[in-house]
Copies of this chain bind each other. A is one copy, B any other.
Amino acid sequence: MVVGVYGLGRFGSFWASLLAQHFTVKGFTRSGGRSVPHGVSWASEEEVLSCDALFLAVSISSMEQVVGRIASQISERTVVFDTCSVKLYPISVMKRILPKEVRIIGTHPMFGPDSGRNGVSGLPIVYCPVRVDEATASEWRSRFLNMGLRVSDLSPEEHDREVAYTQGVTHFVGRVLNDLGLKPSAISTVGYAKLLEIIEQTCNDPWQLFLDLQRYNPYTAQMRVALYTSLTKIKDRLESSLEDERGNGDPR
């Protein structure tokens, strides 16, 4: 079993070195440059496109371009996986552009180099066997289970609806807290310590990922309206309560 990883950015490098604990892994990156992840060997684009399995670890917004670029070269026996944080969009791109014979499995490993720093055992991976025979789908489910992952079968719709709130809100809050410049405190409450961890869990990722999570998930528009409504509601309720109390003769 030789596995290719296409794209060795922050997530791709992490994912490749994780796969390398279980398989022979070849890595390719369009930009070149970076150091090769632990346990992974460099390969040409041609080489990774003829592996038994190919994991695309490219940004959501470059999926259409990358899938277009590899479609004519990919070997028929290669199973193609995406690893995007949204599912409807990249799956529709792969189904539309990849040759009919090429098998497709959508995945979303719900972790990255920050949350998986101390191991990924028990962490979830969303699993969408899109265009693939039962046997292959079942083999790969077992392989992910063997890696210690919790495999969660969700439809692309169910996935996107759920992460719009879970990841979408978390990243928004993390960005705001980071912009505020919050610092560790010697008299930190338990709640504040959690708040600081959210910054760490979200702000090491590129802004482009934050944007793509919003842009390519059809359910985030609705989430953002709800979030802005709650923010305005709490702000207005707080400020008007403070105003009322001031009006009642309190000197502050």
Chain A residues packing against B (C-beta within 8 Å):
108, 110-111, 114-115, 123-124, 126, 152, 154, 159, 162-163, 165-167, 169-177, 179-180, 182-183, 185-192, 194-195, 197-198, 201-202, 210-211, 214-216, 218, 224, 226-228, 230-231, 233-235, 238-239, 241-242, 245, 250, 252
Contact = CB atoms under 8 A, between A and B. Distances in A.
Contacts of A235: 228
A207 to B, nearest CB: 8
23 contacts: A108-B187, A114-B190, A115-B190, A124-B187, A124-B188, A126-B187, A163-B187, A166-B182, A166-B189, A167-B189, A167-B192, A172-B238, A180-B226, A189-B201, A190-B201, A191-B197, A191-B201, A194-B194, A211-B238, A211-B245, A215-B242, A216-B252, A218-B252
B201 A111 contact: no
B234 A189 contact: no
A187 B175 contact: no
Q: Report the copy number of this chain in the oligomer.
A: 2
B234 A172 contact: yes
Contacts of A228: 235
Main secondary structure of the interface of A (DSSP, over half): helix
Contacts of A179: 230, 233-234
Contacts of A108: 187
Given A172-B234, A215-B252, A110 B152 contact: no
B215 A180 contact: no
A152 B187 CA distance: 7
A107 to B, nearest CB: 12
Nearest to A230: B179
Nearest to A112: B189
Contacts of A159: 187
Q: Among A108, A174, A197, A233, which residue has the most Cβ atoms of chain B within 10 A?
A: A197
A114 B187 CA distance: 17
Contacts of A170: 189, 191-192, 195
B166 A185 contact: yes
B242 A211 contact: yes
A119 to B, nearest CB: 12
